Amino acid sequence: MQKFLDVAIEAAQEAGRILLAEFQRPQRIEYKGEVDLVTEADRRSEQVIVERLRQHFPEHAIVGEEGGGQSAESRYRWYVDPLDGTTNFAHGYPCFCISVALAEHTEPIVGVVFDPLHGELFSAVRGEGAYLNNKRIHVSRVPRLDRSLLATGFPSHKRTQNPNIHYYWEFTLRSHGVRRDGAAALDLAAVACGRFDGFWEFGLKPWDTAAGVLLVREAGGRVTDFTGKPYCVTEPAANFPENALLASNGLIHGEMQQVASEVAARASTRL
């Protein structure tokens, strides 16, 4: 397990150096969809991570967001988001990270989220706790939704309609506020270390969530779908409704579920 973690950290730090250098340069933006951006930094970062993983674990499967992985029938599968927060990055907004995780069958067993601008390295190994720069981290102890700070996100590809706006509205009224930072892996890391008390989003992909979900669980929090079923990282379609992810410190989980079900019950906002 230590070797898996060491290589994931080495790869994320190497990618971090590339992102820092690229962040200083004007960005050449391309579009994957109507509003879904990709930059040279996404590609270069993914290339170094995949190279490093391939070199150490040639028999493992690797799924990279930008398509640079390798498929293999393997008990082990890496999920790589080489730049989580591309829209922020492309606009010069300093909030982005690298997410690297290893799953054994369907369970994440190693997770690393690295924020190179702030020098923050979040890591977790299944059953061994979660860490920020080698210091053990825990979820917050905030006991009530009306005392909590929350986060959410909106998918980059969907512009015409987004039911999450109704959840955003309701949770904003019932909490200290809802942040929308634009990097899901960092949002989950922030729940793990107690900066946020809860986070939800729809339609995330395994490379967005695999490392962050492990961080939250290892830090003592809960990650489920909106029905309270454990969130399945590797088969997003199994999470109900619309691949909903709900992460929290555990204490406000029931209240968040309750609000979500009230919002969903209103016909006009049903997903």
Q: What is the per-residue burial (b if ≥16 Cβ within 10 Å, else e) of 36-57?
A: ebbbebbbbbbbbbbebbbeeb
User: To the nearest whole angstrom, how small is the minimum distance from the Cβ of residue 59 to ligand IPD?
Assistant: 27
Which residues of this protein are in contact with Ca ion, per CB under 5 A?
65, 81, 83-84, 208
Figure out which of the listed residues 22, 46, 66, 84 binds ligand IPD, where binding follows CB under 6 A. 84
Mark 153-182 with x for binding to ligand IPD (rule: CB under 6 A) and - for no binding: xxxx-------------------------x
Which amino acid appears at position 171 of this protein?
A: F
3-state secondary structure of 65: coil
155 binds, among Ca ion, ligand IPD, none (CB under 5 to 8 A by kind): ligand IPD
Figure out which of the listed residues 8, 19, 142, 184 binds ligand IPD, where binding follows CB under 6 A. 184
Classify 105 in phi/psi space as left (phi over 0), alpha (psi -120 to 50) or beta: left
Give the span between the Cα atoms of 267 and 271, in whole angstroms.
Answer: 9
Phi, psi angles (nearest 5°) of residue 160? -70, -35
Query: Is residue 27 close enough to count as binding ligand IPD by CB under 6 A?
Result: no
Site size toward ligand IPD (CB under 6 A) is: 15
Residues that bind ligand IPD (CB under 6 A): 81, 84-87, 153-156, 182-184, 201, 204, 208
